[in-house]
Amino acid sequence: MDKPPPLFNSISEETTPRCAFPQDTSETSIHWNAPAPIAYSVVEMLREPTFNSADELVYALESCLRHLGWLWLVEYLTHTEHDPDVDRILFRFLLEGKRELSVGTWAYLGSLLSHLFHKNKWTLKFPSLAEFSYGDPADEQSPLSQLLRYRNHFAHGSFDTQLSEILLHRSLYWSLLEPMQALWKQSPLVFWDPEASSVREANGHWSLRPDLALPEPKPYELYALRQEQEPLSLAPMFQVRRTKTNETQHHIYSHIHELSPWHLRTFDLRKSSTSARLALFQRNPSIQAHLTTHEQTLQGILPFQNTWNKTTWPKAQREALQPLQRMLLHDLLKRANKRPNVVCVEGYPGSGKTHLLATVEEWAVGFDSIFRYRLTPGHLTQSPTTFLRYVLRKLNPEDEELAHLSHKKLEDLWHQTLEQWEQQEQRVLFALDQFQFAHQPYQDETLSLNDWLSQQRGQATARLSVLLTLRPGYHDPFGYDALRSLPIVDTPLPDTFVTMMEELGWLEQAFPTPETPSRHPEERRLGRALLYLLAKTENSMTSMELRQPLKQLLDRLPQLLPAYMLLTPRISHTLRELRPFLRWSREETTSIHDAYTPFSVSLRQWLLQTLQGEFQ
């Protein structure tokens, strides 16, 4: 008898987790009742020798998450209600992306929509979807989190997979699939087979269903049957294709697929046109207005005027800003040496940065043209292409071609515009609000708006001035000629404080947006603990001074943080990350460390009210 592979050598029956997956793959197996992509991938995994089935398990997980993800999109895009924040995320992935979505993205979208429907108690068209447990995204030990870690570890080149690991993760996968098994037939996926002149199910059996009828069906168009309701068309999210002779349509690991005369496909994001992607959203009238705004943004039509119109400021504070406005105008009108003149204004939330830009046309006299722009995190406004398209669209409002030009062609038009301003001796001002968000490239772009403007500084005309407003503590903008600071205005801004905590990754969100910094739970807890300790004292504190109260906090709450979090370098690093919430200074004669304190009394009070329940 041949010696077993070395893979078995360190595995004992006592330590090997028992595989919960039903092993039957015959024609009567329950696995064939699942939708075809899930059924085929599961049976293929079970028919492969277990010790050699790591890749089949990965493929089964990928097939399942992709199929369920598209079903969740059908649920949402055919629902009568919608969520604007979810719309924005879907527009980003489905309209702006140029590639197929990753497995992690499908898990994220499925989890996002699952929790949205559960939170709002919306009715599901596919009851089986409610049985798939995506788990809490913050729970690293949930079955799906463990499976995704296993998939990422294996997919990134680690082929030394132990048998015990395969069996464990098979068991985890079955724990997700088993609750759905009994519900597959409640909303079967069916299509009209013109060759058989009958309805056929799109499950693993491709069963004929002459007992069912579809109203005016189109050949091979997929429908979901629902109890006491009209069948729901799943086009264009799903399509059934007749397999051509000698055609290989399926994944390298799914040989069973090749035996089927039909193939259930999902929408191909990579190969589809823009109009085809837009059609995905046209079945939900409630999303149309939001989609129209998104389309206008892509064309360079941005509703900044609405923001400027809503900006209000008390008369006394407006008058207090007048001396600063005069200094800024003096800074902006200076002529830099053969390059644009850049002036930066720093201010904490509520200090009047947006008001400065809302009224810039009133106080920035001496400019022939003024362009105001505002950045939003995770939004198209972070893209240099959107910025270019916006500026050129303001100059040429009737030019519809700008919406379709590439970044390279837009840059060519931009340089032509700069030359025209130079020849016509035009003084032009660009005023950009919330520039702290300009350092992160948008989506898959390689260049941030900050980097792109930095490149332009060596190429653009000296007749151009740039005014940037931003919050302290984020990033330093590209080289500036003058820096002014706004005085702190102590105003309660609880909504702004929560938004900042979310944007910077210090709150444990159920669904952080893709642009939210990825922070380990221990790092988040340390950051919140430091904010709480700083809020408790009236005095500024250095990283060295914070070690003792932090140690006392950990003595009282030993499960809060591991001991290594008390190291001064760790505290110093976290304080630098927390700077958007803090004022800092350094007494050169007494300390080599910066001393920190919350930037306002209102913030101090909000931190105490918000965090005391966690640390008392």
Scan for tokens 């008369």, then name that residue: 315
Question: For residues 179 and 132, is the Cβ–Cβ distance under 8 A?
Answer: yes
If we measure between CA atoms, which residue out of 104, 36, 45 comes closest to residue 69? 104
Note the pLDDT of residue 516.
78
How would you class 70 by CB atoms within 10 Å of its CB: exposed for 0-12, middle for 13-18, buried for 19 or more? buried
Cα angle 395, 400, 401 (rounded to 5 degrees) comes to 100
One DSSP character per residue, 313-376 reads: --HHHHHHTHHHHHHHHHHHHS--SSS-EEEEEE--TTSSHHHHHHTHHHH-TT-SEEEEEE--
Alpha-helical (H) ranges within 156-284 are: 163-181, 274-279
pTM to 2 decimals? 0.77
Give the residue ranges of the chain where pLDDT is below 70.
1-19, 98, 155-160, 244-259, 336-337, 510-512, 514, 586-592
Question: For residues 5 and 51, is the Cβ–Cβ distance under 8 A?
Answer: yes
Question: For residues 553 and 546, is the Cβ–Cβ distance under 8 A?
Answer: no
If we measure between CA atoms, which residue out of 59, 156, 73, 58 comes closest to residue 108? 73
Note the pLDDT of residue 245.
53
Note the pLDDT of residue 244.
67
Q: How far apart are CA 257 and CA 37, in angstroms?
A: 8
Laid out side by side, the sheet with 229-233 consists of 198-201, 189-193, 223-226, 229-233
Q: How far apart are CA 578 and CA 598, in angstroms?
A: 10
Which helix (H) or strand (E) segment holds residue 496: the answer is helix 494-503
User: What phi-psi label fits residue 425: left (phi over 0), alpha (psi between -120 and 50 degrees) or beta?
Assistant: left
Q: How far apart are CA 444 and CA 320, in angstroms?
A: 43
Note the pLDDT of residue 238.
93
Written as six digits, the tokens of 47 are 């028919």
Distances (CA, A) of 214 to 127, 233, 406: 21, 10, 45
Question: For residues 550 and 529, is the Cβ–Cβ distance under 8 A?
Answer: yes
Note the pLDDT of residue 430.
95
Q: How far apart are CA 587 and CA 534, in angstroms?
A: 18
Q: Which residues contact 601 (CB under 8 A, 6 or more apart)?
A: 490
Which value, in Å, is the radius of gyration of the alpha carbons in the chain? 29
Note the pLDDT of residue 616.
81
Alpha-helical (H) ranges within 537-600 are: 543-556, 568-577
Note the pLDDT of residue 16.
39
Written as six digits, the tokens of 476 are 């330093």
Question: For residues 374 and 433, is the Cβ–Cβ distance under 8 A?
Answer: yes
How would you class 255 by CB atoms within 10 Å of its CB: exposed for 0-12, middle for 13-18, buried for 19 or more? middle
> What is the sign, positive or negative, of the torsion defined by CA atoms of 169, 175, 176, 182?
positive
Note the pLDDT of residue 543.
93
Written as six digits, the tokens of 185 are 């037939």
Note the pLDDT of residue 8.
32
Alpha-helical (H) ranges within 397-469 are: 407-423, 449-457
Q: How many CA atoms lie within 13 A of 21 on its CB side?
A: 25
